[in-house]
Structure 1
Amino acid sequence: MAAFHFELVSPEKHLFSGEVESVVAPGADGQFTVLKDHAPVMTTLKAGVVTVSGDGKVEKLFVRGGFADVNASGFTILAEQAIPLAEIDLAKVDADIQNAREDIADAKSDDARLAASDKLAQLQELRAAIVG
């Protein structure tokens, strides 16, 4: 399979840069796969898993939103947050989910309740990505 250049960048760090054979990304309108010579497209991403394949290896990273840009020079993802799945501690995620539930129950205002609900939803998306 032909290779193309892919980069995944978050505000914290440059997570991936290299030649790959395919990338599956969680687009706002559903998952999409990019191969070499894909038509140019720019879209938003929802929370989910980016699967990068090349040289017989597969790497999976959780992204929480962002932008995807496919053009003649390759494919770039600018993620709001990105974490390699292998670096995520499921026990910590479960504890954070419990804390978020408690924050919702203890919220004293609608804004605090909304913020805690958003955090809970993000953590549940992360957990779902980990356990598959």
Structure 2
Amino acid sequence: MAGTFTFHVVSPEGDVLKEEVEFVVLPGIDGELGILPNHAPLIAALETGVITYTVNGKKKKAAISGGFVEVSENKATVLADTAEVAEAIDVERALAAKERAEKRLAQKSPDTDMKRAEYAFRRAIARLNAADGKNL
């Protein structure tokens, strides 16, 4: 094994994930960020999307809704607005949220908060992609 580093994901609800990982891919606002052991210090903004991380050679996923990552001293910490590991995602609830957001976006009513509807849609898509990606 080439080495590992500590990967920690925190949301306002508390710790979501803390693992020794081999590799992490994060949804940065300017594109994907790949983190390996002994990465140079880094602070970057994240957007809504899927985190992919490797533990003992096995890929795992989590969904986040924005936030930041700090990498230093062989540790990567994500401070996310919301975060869920794939196993904790309720797929039926995520599908329902996606459908509600699609309806609000399609209405284009002056009463609809379009930014909020877009955020809800992107979050639902990220959750579905992290869960299994088959429900899109």
Give TM-score scaled by structure 1 length. Answer: 0.82
Q: What is the rounded CA distance, in whole Å, between the counterparts of 1:58 and 1:12 in structure 2?
A: 25
The corresponding residue for 2:54 is: 53
Which of 91, 109, 112 is the aligned partner of 2:111?
Answer: 109
* 1:73, distance to aligned residue in structure 2 (A): 4.5
Question: How far apart are the structure 1 equivalents of 2:133 and 2:122?
Answer: 15
Equivalent in the alignment of 2:123: 122
Unaligned runs of 5+ in 1: none
Q: Quote the residue 2:87 is aligned against.
A: 86
Q: Indicate if the aligned counterparts of 2:23 and 2:54 stay in contact, CA closer than 8 A.
A: yes
Q: Displacement of 1:84 after TM fit?
A: 1.1
1:92 CA drift (Å): 2.3
Q: 1:45 and 1:114 mapped to 2: Cα distance? A: 18
Residues in 2 aligned to 1:18 and 1:120: alpha-carbon distance in whole angstroms: 29
Measured against aligned partners, the alpha-carbon deviations of 1:12-45 in whole angstroms (never above 9, x if no partner) come to: 1212223221111111111121111111110001
Q: How far apart are the structure 1 equivalents of 2:62 and 2:77?
A: 14
Alignment of 1:1-132 (within 5 A): 1-104=2-105, 105=107, 107-109=109-111, 112-129=113-130, 130-131=132-133
Write the letter of the residue equivalent to 1:47: T
Q: In the aligned structure 1, how far is the partner of 2:83 from the partner of 2:26?
A: 12
| Length-normalised TM-score, structure 2 | 0.80
Report the RMSD for the aligned CA atoms in angstroms.
2.3
Opposite residue 20 of structure 1, the aligned amino acid is V
Give the letter for the 1:131 counterpart: G
Unaligned runs of 5+ in 2: none
Q: Report the residue type matching 2:77 in the other structure.
A: T
- Number of matched residues? 131
Q: Retained in 1: the 8 A contact 2:64–2:80?
A: yes
